[in-house]
Amino acid sequence: MQYVADTALANHGADDGSEAPRPSPSNTGDEESLYVVELPTKTVEESLGQAVGLGLRKDPDQETVSGLHAACGQATTFLQGPCSSKDDEEETTCPQKCEKAARHALPILGWLPRTSKEGFKADLIAGLTVGVMVIPQSMSYASIAGLDLVYGLYASFVPTVVYAFFGTSGQLAVGPVALVSLLVEAGLSDALTKGECPEYYEDDDPARRMLGASDDSLAGTCPDAYANLVFVAMFFVGIIQFGAAICRLGFLINFLGHPVISGFTSGAAITIGLSQFKFWLGISIPKSQYCHETIKAICTKVLRGKAHWMPFLLGVITYYMLKGVKELATKKPKTFGWMKPLGPLIICTLSLVMMIIPGLGDTLRDDYGVQTIGLVPSGLPPFTLPRVLRDVPSKASTVLPTAISAALIGFMESIAIGKSIAAKHGEELSAGKELGAIGLANLIGSFAAGYPVAGSFSRSAVANSTGAKTPLAGLVTGLFVMLALVILPSFIRKLPKFVLATIVISSVVNLVAIGEAKHLWKVRKLDFMLWVIAFLGTLFAGVLYGLIIAVGMSLIVVLYESVRPQISVLWKLPGTAIYRNVKQGESPGQFVKGVLVVRVGASMYFANVAYIKDTIIELCRQVEDTKYVVVEMTPVTSVDSTALHMLEDLFADMRRKGVEVCLASIGSRVEETLRLAGVQRKCGYEWFHDNVAHAVEFCIRHAAAHKAVVGRLEADSLDMTETPSQGTLRMRRASNASSDNLEKEDKKSVLVMAAKHRVVERGKKHRGSTAAEAKALAALADADEEESKSDPSAVKPPPAPSPPATPAHKRDTVRALRSIIQQNGGASSGANPVADEPEAPAPPTIVCVADDDALDQILLVACDVGDRPGVLRDISDVLASRLSLQLRYNEAAVVGRRSISFWKCEVPARGASEVAAAAAKAEKLIPAAL
């Protein structure tokens, strides 16, 4: 629909101050009907209140506090989160504050009273289901960690109960997991000294140990000393995680890229699976975190005939039984869905029954090499706090590398599954609270003979599928495991080890993400290479070194992407003012002769400024006849002091080569930094613009003006004379001014000449005229002359009489001035300079009219006031205090010897008459305040 400006003004009563009726819609004739829709803007007070609430603006009514007090407040907010507002604090009583703090510290006080009967039933079923599942899994994972099987049950009891009190996720199942168990074994299995395990070091026949004992490792030889070391490691895991939660360091997990984590997880899963093959083959091999050593030991035992086929056969059968139960429950969830979480319990029960049958169990154990787990201690876990506190000082350096890796991987696994399930329920999971809850679970769990725990993918998925609603499900799981510790040990001593190996292998098979590697190969080759490096590093360099390689590769990628940001060359889309990346889109664009437009794709700081500068200079060298470089800085959100120096050097270096640099689309944060550093003043305000189109147009106008001025100087301002003493020719300007002043005058002449040029599209006829500009400048000049005649010594103009609502000559003047501003490269926030003289050449002029773009707002034009200290602030204060108008810069520039600033302010009332009245009041108030 075509909008006609005159009709729009008439509808708002801008011509005669009356409200004109709006035309009714009609389909007759060639003209379309005009529909006027008011923009639903909020008032200044409402908008300011919302900005204060979002923390984007300071509250003007808030009292100013000292620097130390403000720093303490910021530190408290950082550690504890944002506090409530002052009004909320006044309305909240002391008991309510205590209750709120208690609920924040113990989330169970919040969800437990709200638990309904149906929710309690759902959590009870889910907790019992996960409890049945975690018993065989935890014992399997304890064997991976090199501990006795009972420690897996201990780690499934106390930490699970602790998380139920402090955690917020109702579906996250906390307990032993495969990856953390492998990290514990890889980091601590050889950490005991000779004084702590003399039996291992006194046995000088490693070959006999390898062929003899069922567990000939250092941890297997001295299980109690090794367990004490694991308790200390769990203590430090809890300290690290809880401390990171207090300091809000959970964001550090984001530095681990998905490809390297996927590669590390896949390599660790294969290492875990290979370590369980000895139970399938009924052999004893030394534990190793290196894939090739485990494969070599297995092949050696098999070739020597030490392997047994019966446990391997039973292991394969139970594996496919477990897999079949999962597939059956997935394909027919209504009928067999209940069997999916019970799969491990089913195969454990069948295997245990097989070993209990008289005659059959003894035959399998004695003649076919089927190993059983043996006696498991019964009763509640022992209290290990004294042992932990005793060993913490001496074992800190030994266990810290393992504790850091376990804390990192454990939290990553927990928050990944927790957020995934929370998103399915439309909920938000606080990473900081979860990190603190898991940290407390590990910290308190170390006092009850546990080992590091985390959120389990498989058990959390089961809890979610069985209807868990609140952390009550985890509390039920922990109590069920406690009951199992008292009842089960006497019954499960004949449980075969191949069943536990089957459960582990079935769990880790899904972690080998070969499909993800294929996807990365198709999407991005660099991510695929990261995946392969992390995968092979974990397999052949060990789990800990594999994790270090994965973290190192992630940091290298972050640094590489940051140090070498993308620098794109832009061209203009034909017929538009849009500049787009040359590599983007299929349709070709157009380059502007003599102007190179580039975009910097990241923030500028000390590590990447050299690359940015060198790349821009190299592009200028490659593009012939480059006289101007426009740098589009939309992606640049911050600059440091090194970047500021680089920008100044870039301007200077390019000017020595005859190339001017122009910055466009600078964000408010970066612009404020440039202003405080004085970069705009040093480099020239005219080289900073609000968008690329304006910057390119200014460059073209500047080139034309520079050519005209240089040609005039060469023709008119130079004469050739002969120096008598040297017999040579020298050039002498007609003026007696110094060369520096002449250069300054020449630059000013170029800017003045550039303001008189117009840039039009090639092939399009320019319909514009300079008549409106001439009228505008003449109108201002006439007003100044009349004012000077009446009072030559006056600095302040007398208050103007109240004019009629938006007179035609005033509106034409404002439109012409705005056209001059736009053509002169006016930048937002008043970035352009004012007149060079200490005092303005004419008294200040203030014009206020209704804005053409938003007729319910005032557009204020201030001429020759920008160079007076404090005037801009005074104008804002006057309008805010006397008329309740919020003022902001719109455009500013220098036209000839006149400095012109455009301002916008919202009026408290709508309608043409109210706007005109407010504009008239503003014209009276501002000159009086000056």
**For the segment 356-380, what is each residue's pLDDT rounded down to a tens digit?**
888 888 888 888 888 888 777 888 8
Q: Which carries the bigger pLDDT value, residue 819 or residue 206?
A: 819
- State residue 111's pLDDT score: 85
User: Does residue 235 register a pLDDT over 90?
Assistant: yes
Q: Residue 513 and residue 522: Cα distance in Å, rounded?
A: 15
Q: How far is the CA of 697 from the CAs of 388, 693, 702, 760, in angstroms? A: 73, 6, 8, 9
Of the candidate ranges 233-242, 395-404, 590-599, 869-878, the one whose mean pLDDT is the lowest: 869-878
Which of 497-501, 747-751, 785-789 has maximum average pLDDT? 497-501
- State residue 828's pLDDT score: 33
- State residue 838's pLDDT score: 35
Q: Are 930 and 844 in contact (CB under 8 A)?
A: yes
Biggest alpha carbon–alpha carbon distance for the chain: 130
- State residue 382's pLDDT score: 92
Question: Is residue 663 within a helix (H) or strand (E), and if so which, with residue range?
Answer: strand 660-664
- State residue 90's pLDDT score: 47
- pLDDT 10s digits, 588-618: 778 888 889 999 998 999 989 999 999 999 9
Per-residue pLDDT band for 806 (boundaries 50, 70, 90) equals very low
Per-residue pLDDT band for 482 (boundaries 50, 70, 90) equals very high
Per-residue pLDDT band for 478 (boundaries 50, 70, 90) equals very high
Q: Are 846 and 860 in contact (CB under 8 A)?
A: yes
- pLDDT 10s digits, 629-648: 999 999 999 999 999 999 99
539 C-beta neighbours (distance < 10 Å), count: 22
**Sign of the CA dihedral with 497 first, then 499, 503, and 509 last:** positive
- State residue 786's pLDDT score: 45
- pLDDT 10s digits, 666-703: 988 999 999 999 998 888 888 999 889 888 888 888 88
Q: Residue 286 and residue 194: Cα distance in Å, rounded?
A: 19
Per-residue pLDDT band for 386 (boundaries 50, 70, 90) equals very high
- State residue 510's pLDDT score: 82
- State residue 760's pLDDT score: 59
What does the pLDDT average to over 96-115? 79
Q: Which carries the bigger pLDDT value, residue 648 or residue 207?
A: 648
What does the pLDDT average to over 69-73? 57
CA-based end-to-end distance of the chain: 45
3-state secondary structure (DSSP) of residue 132: helix
User: Does residue 782 register a pLDDT over 90?
Assistant: no
Q: Which carries the bigger pLDDT value, residue 844 or residue 557?
A: 557
Per-residue pLDDT band for 92 (boundaries 50, 70, 90) equals low
- State residue 801's pLDDT score: 40
What does the pLDDT average to over 846-861? 74
User: Does residue 64 register a pLDDT over 80?
Assistant: no
Among left, alpha and beta (phi > 0; psi -120 to 50; other), residue 142 is alpha
Which of 128-142, 439-453, 576-590, 762-776 has maximum average pLDDT? 439-453
- State residue 36's pLDDT score: 37
Among left, alpha and beta (phi > 0; psi -120 to 50; other), residue 118 is alpha
Residue 908: φ, ψ to 5°: -75, -15
User: Does residue 219 register a pLDDT over 80?
Assistant: no
- State residue 14's pLDDT score: 34
Q: How far is the CA of 400 from the CAs of 147, 396, 437, 641, 760, in angstroms? A: 19, 6, 20, 37, 68
Q: How far is the CA of 530 from the CAs of 261, 262, 316, in angstroms? A: 9, 10, 34
- State residue 475's pLDDT score: 93
User: Does residue 792 register a pLDDT over 60?
Assistant: no
Q: Which carries the bigger pLDDT value, residue 854 or residue 271?
A: 271
User: Does residue 154 register a pLDDT over 90?
Assistant: yes
Q: Residue 500 and residue 176: Cα distance in Å, rounded?
A: 14
- State residue 833's pLDDT score: 39
Q: Are 190 and 398 in contact (CB under 8 A)?
A: no
- pLDDT 10s digits, 311-326: 999 999 999 998 888 8
CA atoms within 13 A on the CB side of 876: 12
Per-residue pLDDT band for 128 (boundaries 50, 70, 90) equals confident
Which of 104-118, 197-211, 723-737 has maximum average pLDDT? 104-118
- State residue 546's pLDDT score: 82
- State residue 599's pLDDT score: 93
- State residue 418's pLDDT score: 84
Q: Strand runs (DSSP E) across 688-764, as ranges? A: 688-689, 718-723, 728-733
* Structure token digits, residue 701: 């106008």
Q: Residue 245 and residue 252: Cα distance in Å, rounded?
A: 11
What does the pLDDT average to over 751-761? 60
Look at the pTM and tell me if it is higher than 0.75.
no
- State residue 216's pLDDT score: 63
- State residue 439's pLDDT score: 94
Of the candidate ranges 67-81, 229-243, 388-402, the one whose mean pLDDT is the lowest: 67-81
| 3-state SS record for 397-451 | HHHHHHHHHHHHHHHHHHHHHHHHHHHHCCCCCCHHHHHHHHHHHHHHHHHHCCC
Of the candidate ranges 76-90, 331-345, 650-664, 899-913, the one whose mean pLDDT is the lowest: 76-90
CA angle 869, 873, 876 (to 5 degrees): 145
Q: Residue 534 and residue 527: Cα distance in Å, rounded?
A: 11
Per-residue pLDDT band for 65 (boundaries 50, 70, 90) equals low
* Structure token digits, residue 63: 């009292």
- State residue 108's pLDDT score: 85
Per-residue pLDDT band for 477 (boundaries 50, 70, 90) equals very high
Which of 684-688, 793-797, 799-803 has maximum average pLDDT? 684-688
Q: Residue 568 and residue 632: Cα distance in Å, rounded?
A: 10
Of the candidate ranges 217-221, 431-435, 771-775, 857-861, the one whose mean pLDDT is the lowest: 771-775
By percentage, how much of the chain surpasses pLDDT 70? 68
Per-residue pLDDT band for 559 (boundaries 50, 70, 90) equals confident
- pLDDT 10s digits, 43-62: 656 666 666 766 656 677 66
Q: How many residues would you count in the chain?
A: 930
